[in-house]
């Protein structure tokens, strides 16, 4: 989707070094084509080697089929695996994490040899944990079943959510115990809601790993609950996610779901909340009016307007100008975060042009 004249085509055959090459190619590509607000870290990340058993639920991988029209039209089918009356603790396992320090140091020494005298190398562990309780549970129960269970089998759903959060909390504490957590107080995407740089959290450990949970950003979302009532989201999401959120120094919530009608519950549930998603399904002014400048609002422009037969440039322009207007009106900490691009129709210049336009509009409003 982003490829242009082989600029992102790696040539190294070794799988691990190929990943490193791809990252470096992307940085050069961004410099050449997408000069937005990006921080280039002055070191190379060396990923640690670990295994994570997950929740132990097998058989729920989707069947994938190409409809034949184009490669973006993919169908997925999930068979329900959990039903009321099941022994939930036997089905949803506590993840088991293992750390391979020997393999990690072999990688680290290799990269140090390659980049000696050019750029430092730092270890990099886990700093992102996908925590979207209902988004995952509906895969195990079936989405239709889950929506019915919320009403007809609430105790069952609460038990599922309790077990899910227990497993997630145990998992991240294992990473902390092994010393392979990395800080996301750097240029990494926190919960799909923009980079994590902040003076309100301690800086990352010097060697790249060994961060404490309390010193990093936490995150979660529940996109599948976008159309349920605020009260139901509070009961089945926010109330269960509180214990997870308490572990972290700061917190980020949301992805592509609609949240503007649930913000009262959301902000009450998470005292350490600082980043909130505002997807195209939200009324940005309604969100701005409720949140003000206490939070970072990650505004997601409508990527569908880049995906048509012709990009809707004027609609995208008006969207950006309106965002700047609201930022001025309400004193917002607003981020424009173009994401969830399903296709650019093999024309990456659509994205390049949007980025140039976004920077032009922001500078016109705020200088810099």
The predicted structure's pLDDT at residue 368: 63
Q: pLDDT tier at 130 (50, 70, 90 boundaries)?
A: confident
- Is pLDDT larger for residue 13 or for residue 61? 13
Domain assignment of residue 205, yes or no: yes
Domain assignment of residue 360, yes or no: no
**How many folded domains does the chain comprise?**
1
Q: Tens digit of pLDDT for each residue in 155-174?
A: 999 999 999 999 999 999 99
The predicted structure's pLDDT at residue 75: 60
Min mean pLDDT across 57-61, 119-123, 182-186 is at 57-61
Domain assignment of residue 29, yes or no: no
The helix (run of H) or strand (run of E) holding residue 77 is strand 74-77
Structure letter (DSSP) for residue 262: T
Min mean pLDDT across 53-57, 71-75, 320-324, 327-331 is at 71-75
Domain assignment of residue 25, yes or no: no
Q: How many CB atoms lie within 10 A of CB 241?
A: 25
The predicted structure's pLDDT at residue 67: 36
pLDDT at 65 over 70: no
Handedness of CA 202, 204, 206, 209 (dihedral sign): positive
Residues 244 and 131: their CA atoms lie apart, in Å, by 9
The predicted structure's pLDDT at residue 1: 66
Mind giving me the DSSP string for 105-172? HHHHHHHHHHTTTT--EEEE-B------HHHHHHHHH-HHHHHHHHHH-HHHHHHHHHHHHHHHHHHH
Q: How many CB atoms lie within 10 A of CB 110?
A: 16
Residues 146 and 334: their CA atoms lie apart, in Å, by 35
Domain assignment of residue 325, yes or no: no
Mind giving me the DSSP string for 10-52? ----SHHHHHHHHHHHHHHHHHHH--SS----SSEEEEPPEEE
Domain assignment of residue 83, yes or no: yes
Domain assignment of residue 352, yes or no: no
Helix (H, G, I), strand (E, B) or coil at 74: strand
pLDDT at 79 over 90: no
Mean pLDDT of 259-278: 97
Mind giving me the DSSP string for 159-220? HHHHHHHHHHHHHHHHHHHHT-B---SSSSBSTTSSB---TTSPPPPTTS----GGGSEEEE
Q: Tens digit of pLDDT for each residue in 202-226?
A: 999 999 999 999 999 999 998 999 8
Q: Which residues contact 193 (CB under 8 A, 6 or more apart)?
A: 219, 252, 253, 254, 255, 275, 276, 277, 296, 298, 335, 337
Owning domain of residue 61: 34-300
Say if residues 123 and 46 touch (Cβ distance below 8 Å): yes
pLDDT at 237 over 60: yes
Residues 212 and 199: their CA atoms lie apart, in Å, by 16
Min mean pLDDT across 62-71, 175-184, 342-351 is at 62-71
Domain assignment of residue 170, yes or no: yes
């Amino acid at each position: 989707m982003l490829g242009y004249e082989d600029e992102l085509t790696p040539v190294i055959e070794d799988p691990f070094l190929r990943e490193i090459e791809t990252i470096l190619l992307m940085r050069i590509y961004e410099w050449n084509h997408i000069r937005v607000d990006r921080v280039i870290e002055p070191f190379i990340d060396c990923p640690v080697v670990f295994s994570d058993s997950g929740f132990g639920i097998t058989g729920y991988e989707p069947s994938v089929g190409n409809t034949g029209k184009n490669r973006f039209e993919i169908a997925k089918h999930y068979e329900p695996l959990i039903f009321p009356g099941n022994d939930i603790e036997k089905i949803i396992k506590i993840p088991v994490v293992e750390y391979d320090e020997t393999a990690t140091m072999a990688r680290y020494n290799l990269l140090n040899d390659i980049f000696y005298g050019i750029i430092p190398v730092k270890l990099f562990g886990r700093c992102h944990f996908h925590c979207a309780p209902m988004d995952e549970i509906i895969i195990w129960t079936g989405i239709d079943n889950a929506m019915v269970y919320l009403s007809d089998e609430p105790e069952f759903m609460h038990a599922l959510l309790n077990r899910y959060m227990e497993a997630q909390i145990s998992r991240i504490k294992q990473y902390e115990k092994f010393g392979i957590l990395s800080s996301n107080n750097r240029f990494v995407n926190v919960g799909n809601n923009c980079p994590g740089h902040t003076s309100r959290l301690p800086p990352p450990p010097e060697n790249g790993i060994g961060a404490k949970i309390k010193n990093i950003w936490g995150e979660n979302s529940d996109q599948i609950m976008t159309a349920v009532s605020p009260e139901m989201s509070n009961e089945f999401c926010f109330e269960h996610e509180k214990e997870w959120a308490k572990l972290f120094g700061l917190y980020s919530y949301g992805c592509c779901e609609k949240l503007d009608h649930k913000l009262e519950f959301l902000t009450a549930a998470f005292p350490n909340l600082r980043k909130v998603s505002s997807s195209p399904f939200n009324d940005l002014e309604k969100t701005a009016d409720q949140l003000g400048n206490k939070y970072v609002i990650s505004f997601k422009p409508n990527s569908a307007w880049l995906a048509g037969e012709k990009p809707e440039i004027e609609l995208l322009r008006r969207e950006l100008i309106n965002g700047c207007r609201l930022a001025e009106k309400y004193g917002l900490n607003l981020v424009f975060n173009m994401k969830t691009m399903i296709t650019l129709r093999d024309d990456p210049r659509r994205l390049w042009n949007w980025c140039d336009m976004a920077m032009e509009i922001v500078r016109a409003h705020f200088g810099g």
